[in-house]
Amino acid sequence: MLRQGAYLLARPLAWSPSASSAVKLLAPIRPFGQTCRRFASTAQATSAPVSQTPGGISSTPDSPIVTASVGAEDKSKPKPYFLTTPIFYVNASPHIGHLHSLLLTDVLARFSRLRDPTRPVVFTTGTDEHGLKIQQAAKAGGVDEQEFCDRVSERFRDLARRSNISHTDFVRTTEPRHYTAVEHFWNKLVTSGDIYKGTHSGWYSISDESFFAASQVGEKDGKMISIETGNEVVWEEEVNWKFRLGAFKDRLLAWAGDPKSVQPNSYRQDILRQIQNLEDLSISRPLSRVRWGVPVPGDPEQVIYVWVDALINYITVLGYPESLEGWPADAHIVGKDIIKFHAIHWPALLMSAGLEPPRTVLAHAHWTMARSKMSKSRGNVVDPIGSLGKWGVDGVRWYLMRSGGSLPDDADYSEEQLGVNYRLLADQIGNLVARISSPSLLRKVKRFDDGDRDSELDEALSTMRNEFGSRMEAYQITRACEGVIEVIMAANRLFTILQPWATDDSTKAIVYAYHSLRLAGILLQPIIPSKATELLDRLGVPPHRRTWGEAVWPVEVDTEDMIRGLREGKKKYKGHLFPQVEMEAVAPTVATAAAAGDSIA
């Protein structure tokens, strides 16, 4: 007689369909109006002692915090979870490093939606289209700047589409809405008294679009280079507008004193060191040097410095100056090369304009090729479109997040490692779902009872979701991926030990494999969204049961329902969840310098 049917575990249940929406582990949401504060903006105020408010936000006692004038307070609305990627330079086509910044942000956005579906997510990306670098690249390509930007910007948009990025806005710095925001912001800086016109001299790097002081440059092969970035610099002396960055030292120290401000901590320590030594920042350049940019309001002979222009994109997307709903950013996701701009210049500029600094600047390390920095000039950049075509979007997403998801450490990109990572998914997840979908094994499923319990899997499954959640919350994406795969490995081991094909009762092997896959499918939705969806489809998990609240164990085990789901899944999907990719068919994805001038022709 078959022992098939529903069975309630003896242990108290942590699961019920209605409990799903009740599980909320995110920090309580503060309405926008409670968090948006005006900062003191005068240079004199900085000498006063800095106090720390409970939210880790600093202010000076003589500059009372008031609600910002933009973004009218609406206490009935939760503040959206606001995430941003850097906006990408359009001087060249996208490479795998750009995709990494996009993906990391996408994973966090999707995780928030999974964890707290009621909280809106604002997730913005876009392209950085002004400055000398772009002006020169357009010239080299023989096209006018706007046309050049239109074409290359479209490639970034296309990359986002192909890699299943769930952004809510794509901003371009050549859009009228951005000009409006930049001009308004500039005028705020003027009113603050924190900017002045003066003479500036220093070493300028076009690649970095940044001035460097004499102490930050050195000579290499007869050329002057920035010690920090290795890019060539040229001596420039010019009249431009300058921002009293040094006057913000105390307020910046207070902001960066909060461990949440810049993460991981090693990057924050570096920023704290840099804040000790601030020079005034050049924030415009003469029109004679760069003409492709936003003119300084009221001073048409000057063009706004491209980094100031670019950083403002983070408020353009919220509708600034009319609206700022969603500010401050919960996290600006940036590569380690551009932390200074986000964690020193941007907070200071915001404070000067009377706006709150971002809550977190989250930095990631870089992808290298054969341990050397990827760069267009070295011709060793990886073309993400090629990789996506060969390994599928989730093959690439999984590799980048599993191997490059450790934020402090660089990861070395290789096609071979991509293959190893893909096979891990195929061997562990793909094979397990294939194993349990076998009709002959499903016929041997009976009722699940106490005798079928496995203590190792019970333990692993019951802690799986919260462990995943806390790792994701700590931005340990690599470890979050590891945790899931380890449970699936344990389920595969159990399956092999039980040899369900050799006995007349496959219940225990299939139930544990099924629920391990079910939890993995739910939790991996932010990381490999399409494959996770297909996995859950193959298991027959209905869409409304793919929530955070459902990713629990133990549960009421309904083997009839499980068998029905697996049989339907089998009808719907032919073949393997992760089809084999022939390594021989894998041509190298290393693009020889996708230089925009060459590639847009």
Q: How many Å from the N-terminal Cα to the C-terminal Cα in the chain?
A: 72
Question: Exposed, middle or buried by CB within 10 Å (0-12, 13-18, 19+), for 32?
Answer: buried
Distance of CA 126 to the CA centre of its chain: 13
Using the minimum distance from each CB to ligand MSP, give the nearer residue, 407 or 541.
407
The alpha carbon dihedral of 497, 501, 505, 506 has a sign of positive
Using the minimum distance from each CB to ligand MSP, give the nearer residue, 100 or 184.
100
The alpha carbon dihedral of 68, 72, 77, 80 has a sign of negative
> Which residues of the shown chain bind ligand MSP in the complex (CB under 6 A)?
86-89, 97-98, 100-101, 128, 310-311, 313, 334-335, 337-338, 366-367, 374
| Helix spans in 202-282 (H) | 249-256, 265-275
Report the nearest approach of ligand MSP to the CB of residue 201 (Å).
24
Using the minimum distance from each CB to ligand MSP, give the nearer residue, 46 or 127.
127
Cα–Cα distance, 351 to 354 (Å, whole number): 5
Q: Which residue is nearest to ligand MSP (CB)?
A: 335
Question: Exposed, middle or buried by CB within 10 Å (0-12, 13-18, 19+), for 592?
Answer: exposed
Cα–Cα distance, 587 to 377 (Å, whole number): 22
The phi and psi torsions of 30 (rounded to 5 degrees) equal -100, 130
Residue 427 has which token pair?
């061997």
The phi and psi torsions of 558 (rounded to 5 degrees) equal -110, 95
Decide: helix, strand or coil at residue 352.
Answer: helix
Cβ atoms 341, 262 nearer than 8 A: no
Decide: helix, strand or coil at residue 141.
Answer: helix
Report the nearest approach of ligand MSP to the CB of residue 24 (Å).
31
Using the minimum distance from each CB to ligand MSP, give the nearer residue, 9 or 281.
281
Using the minimum distance from each CB to ligand MSP, give the nearer residue, 366 or 567.
366
Rounded to the nearest 10°, the torsion over CA 487, 490, 492, 494 is: -140
Report, in angstroms and rounded to the nearest whole number, the Rg of the chain calculated over CA atoms: 27
Residue 117 has which token pair?
């579906």
Instruction: Name 82's bridge partners.
Output: 122
Cα–Cα distance, 128 to 88 (Å, whole number): 5
Instruction: Name 242's bridge partners.
Output: 196, 282
392: left (phi over 0), alpha (psi -120 to 50) or beta: left
Cα–Cα distance, 243 to 179 (Å, whole number): 20
Distance of CA 241 to the CA centre of its chain: 33
Cα–Cα distance, 575 to 201 (Å, whole number): 64
